[in-house]
């Protein structure tokens, strides 16, 4: 299955910060420690909105599982 990417789906670092409501430092920590999906083009980071949404869903599921363990 081929996935077509349009310009609205590619987010800059600033756009993702605004979307998630986080600082640049928090975004860096998410990339480093939480496996936030990204692509680096030159010195710039780019994010696919669909991958971010999927990552959020998976992160929420993992967090819920962690809280349920005894």
Residue 61 counted as domain residue: yes
In 3D, which of 28, 2, 35, 33 has the Cα closest to residue 13? 28
pLDDT digits (tens, 9 = 90+) for 39-68: 999 999 999 999 999 999 988 766 555 554
Give the domain range for residue 52: 10-68
Q: pLDDT per residue over 4-14, tens digit each?
A: 667 689 999 99
The enclosing domain of 15 has a CATH number of 1.10.1660
Domain membership of residue 40 (yes or no) is yes
Distance from C-alpha of 54 to C-alpha of 70, rounded to nearest angstrom: 27
């Amino acid at each position: 299955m081929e996935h077509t990417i349009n310009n609205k789906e590619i987010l800059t670092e600033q756009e993702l910060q605004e979307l998630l409501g986080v600082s640049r430092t928090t975004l860096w920590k998410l990339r480093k420690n939480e496996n936030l999906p990204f692509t680096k083009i030159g010195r710039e980071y780019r994010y696919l909105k669909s991958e971010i949404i999927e990552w959020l869903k998976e992160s929420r599921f993992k967090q819920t599982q962690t809280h349920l363990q005894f």
